[in-house]
A and B are shown apart, each in its own frame.
Chain A
Amino acid sequence: MVRVTEPVIEVDGLARTFRSRKGLIRRSSKEIEAVRGVSFAVERGELFGLLGPNGAGKTTTIKMLITLLLPTGGRARVLGHDVVAQAHAVRRKVGYVFGGDRGLYERLSGLDNLRYFAELYGVPARESKQRVGELLELVGLAGREKERVEGYSRGMRQRLHIARGLLHRPEVLFLDEPSIGIDPVGARELRATVRNLVETGTTVLLTTHYMFEADELCDRIAVIARGRIVALDTPSELKQKVTTGTVLEIDVFGVPDGVVEKVRAEPDVLSVSVDVQGQAEVLTVHARPGTDVTQAVMGHLDGSRFGRVITRQPTLEDAYIELVNAA
C-alpha cells in the first residue's frame, strides 16, 4: 500500500498587500504588494529555503505562515491547519526564530526568558526545567543563563532566540535569517544545530542571505523576488538552470593587447572580464555549460606570465543573481 503524506506546509496563491497612509489633512494612501500569489509545499522533515533580496517578501510570507499577519489573498495550511481560521492550532505546533538582537526581555536573565516563554507555549511545569536545561546546553549558554540578557553579546542573544523557538518541541520551525550578525564559528554551530533538528524530524523553513548556508543546508530552495517565486528546486538543479557554465579564472601579469577580444571570439566562451587585483590582472572567463575552454584561453596567453589558474563550477550565488536579475 502506498502511503501518501500530506505536505507539512501548503501555500497556495498566498498574497499580502500593505496599505500605508500619510498626511493629516490631505491623507493619501499607497498600496504595496509585498507577496503576489506564491505557491509551494514543504514535506515533513524537509529543510526548505526561501531566498531573495531585501523586500522580496520572505519575512512577510513567514509572518503569514506563523499567523502574525492575515493574508489578503490565497490560502496556507501548516500541519493541516488553516493559518487564518485555525490560528491557535498552528501557534501550538510551530516555532519562530528571527535574526537580530531584539525580541528578548533585556531585564531578565536568559533562564527567566526561557522559563517565561515555556509558560506561554504551555510546556508542562514538570518538563520545563529539564527542557530549558537541555536547550541551554544545546545552544552553548549553560553557565551564562543567570546573567541578564542586556549583557549578552549578539551571538548569545541569537542562540537564546533559537533555544526559545525550540522550547515546545515544534514540529515546524521557521528561521528568518537566524545567522544574521553571528560570527563564523557561531554560524557554523548554528548550521550544525539546524541540521540536527532536521535529522530528528523537525521540518524547517529557512530564509537567509548567505548562499553557502542555503547551499549547505537546504533540500530545496525557492528564490523569491518582487513578491513572486521565480525558481524552486534543489540547490544543484538551481545551479544547472542558470546559463553560466564553467568559470575559468587566471591571474595574468600583464594581459597582452587583443587577447580579451580573441578569447571572447572563442565559440564556447560566453563572457570575459578583467579585474585588477594587486599586481595581477584576473581574467575571468564564463564558458558554456559542459565545455572546457582552458586550453584555448591558455593558447592565447602564450608568452605571458601568469600565476593561479582555477576552473570552478557556478555557485548558488551565480544562479541566485541571475534569477533575481531576470525577475
Chain B
Amino acid sequence: MNSLRIFFIGGLTSYRALFHWLSPWILVPTFLLTPLFQIFLFVYIGRTAGISDDRFFLIGNAVVNAAVPCLFAMGNTIGGERNTGTLPLLIASPAKRVPLFLGRALPVIVNGFLVAVFALITGSLLLRVDIPPATWGGIAVAIAACSISCTGLGLLGAAVALRVRETAVMSNIVLGILIVFAGVNVPVGAMPGWMQVVAGWLPMTHGIRATHDLAAGAALTDVAGTLLAELGLGALYAGLGLALLRWFEYESRARATLDTA
C-alpha cells in the first residue's frame, strides 16, 4: 500500500517540488511555443527543398518534443534533490527505490505526451496538414509509447546525476542525438547503415515510424510490433536506470559524493 502511495502521490509531489519549469513563464515558451517554432522551421525547409511533404516534418518534430520533459524533468529528479539539499534525506529514507523513482516517471510521461499532442494538433491546424480524425486514437497510443520509452532513457540520466552535478548538458546532447538519428527530419531508411543501427536502439525511432504509418492509414494492429519495440526499449533503459541508481547510491555512500559530486 505504501509503495502505491509513494508511486502515485510521492511521484506527483516530487514532480511539483523539483521541476522548476512548472512556471507559466518557462512552461509556455518551452513546451508550447518552442515545439511550434521547430515544426515551422523544418516544414518550411522541407517545402523549400521539396524533399518531403509537410506531414512528415510535422509528425517527426511534434513527437520528438515529448523528449524535452522526459529527459530534462527525469534527469532533474536526482539533480533537483542535490540542488535543494534533500538528496541525503532521500537516500537516508527507508522508501523502496523502485516505486520511488518509477513514480517520479509517471507525471513526466504525461507531461511529454501532452507536449507532443499539443504540438501535433496545433501544428496541423496552423499548417493545414490533413491528419484524418480516425487516426488520432492510434497516434495518441504511439505518442504515449514514445513518452514512456524516452522517460526510461531519462531515468538513466537521473542515475548519472548521482555522479555528476549537472544533467541538463547531457540531456541537451541526448535530445540532439534523437533529433538527428530518430527519423525526425530524415527517414531512417535514408541514413547510412551505422546510423540506422544506432537509430534502432534509440527511443522515439520506432514510435515516430509507427506514427507516420498510422497517419497514413495503417491500423493500430499493423504497428503493434513497432510500438512493442518502442516500449521494450523504454523498459530496457528504465531497467538500466534503476540498476545504475542502485549502484551509484551504494557508491555515493562509499565515496562520500552525495554532497559533492
A91 touches B5 (CB 8 A): no
Interface-lining segment among B6-14, B204-212, B223-231: B6-14
Known contacts A105-B84, A108-B17; decide if A91 and B6 are in contact (CB<8 Å): no
A116 touches B14 (CB 8 A): yes
Known contacts A116-B13, A119-B10, A125-B5; decide if A66 and B84 are in contact (CB<8 Å): no
Q: Does B95 have its Cβ within 8 Å of any Cβ on chain A?
A: yes
B176 / chain A contacts, CB cutoff of 8 Å: none
Q: Does B258 have its Cβ within 8 Å of any Cβ on chain A?
A: yes
CB distance from A175 to the nearest CB of B (A): 14
Q: Which residue from chain A places its CB closest to the CB of B20 in the assembled complex?
A: A107
A104 touches B86 (CB 8 A): yes
B253 touches A69 (CB 8 A): yes
Q: Does B51 have its Cβ within 8 Å of any Cβ on chain A?
A: no
B95 touches A122 (CB 8 A): yes
Q: How large is the interface on A (under 10, 10 to 19, 20 to 34, 35 or more residues)?
A: 20 to 34
CB distance from B22 to the nearest CB of A (A): 8
Q: Which residue from chain B places its CB closest to the CB of A92 in the assembled complex?
A: B94
Q: Does B2 have its Cβ within 8 Å of any Cβ on chain A?
A: yes
CB distance from B211 to the nearest CB of A (A): 34
Q: Does A70 have its Cβ within 8 Å of any Cβ on chain B?
A: yes
B258 / chain A contacts, CB cutoff of 8 Å: 68
A120 / chain B contacts, CB cutoff of 8 Å: 6, 10, 89-90, 93-95, 100
Q: Does A129 have its Cβ within 8 Å of any Cβ on chain B?
A: no
Known contacts A104-B86, A106-B84, A119-B5; decide if A67 and B13 are in contact (CB<8 Å): no
Q: Does A115 have its Cβ within 8 Å of any Cβ on chain B?
A: yes
CB distance from B102 to the nearest CB of A (A): 14
Q: Does B140 have its Cβ within 8 Å of any Cβ on chain A?
A: no
Known contacts A96-B92, A119-B5, A119-B95; decide if A69 and B13 are in contact (CB<8 Å): no
A68 touches B13 (CB 8 A): no
A122 touches B94 (CB 8 A): yes
A66 touches B13 (CB 8 A): no
A92 / chain B contacts, CB cutoff of 8 Å: 94
A232 to B230, CA, bound (A): 62
B86 / chain A contacts, CB cutoff of 8 Å: 103-105
A105 to B77, CA, bound (A): 12
B2 / chain A contacts, CB cutoff of 8 Å: 119, 122, 124
A96 / chain B contacts, CB cutoff of 8 Å: 89, 92
A16 to B2, CA, bound (A): 35
Known contacts A68-B258, A69-B256, A125-B5; decide if A108 and B13 are in contact (CB<8 Å): yes
A121 touches B95 (CB 8 A): yes
Known contacts A120-B6, A120-B93; decide if A107 and B16 are in contact (CB<8 Å): yes
Of residues 60 to 106 in A, which have CB atoms within 8 Å of B's CB atoms? 63, 66-70, 88, 91-92, 96, 100, 102-106
A108 to B94, CA, bound (A): 22
B13 touches A91 (CB 8 A): no
CB distance from B98 to the nearest CB of A (A): 14
Q: Does A112 have its Cβ within 8 Å of any Cβ on chain B?
A: yes
Of residues 213 to 256 in A, which have CB atoms within 8 Å of B's CB atoms? none
Q: Does B217 have its Cβ within 8 Å of any Cβ on chain A?
A: no
A16 / chain B contacts, CB cutoff of 8 Å: 256
Binding site for A on B (CB under 8 A): 1-2, 5-6, 9-10, 13-14, 16-18, 20, 22, 84-86, 88-95, 100, 253-256, 258
6 residue pairs bridging A and B, Cβ less than 8 Å apart? A92-B94, A104-B85, A119-B5, A120-B89, A121-B93, A164-B89
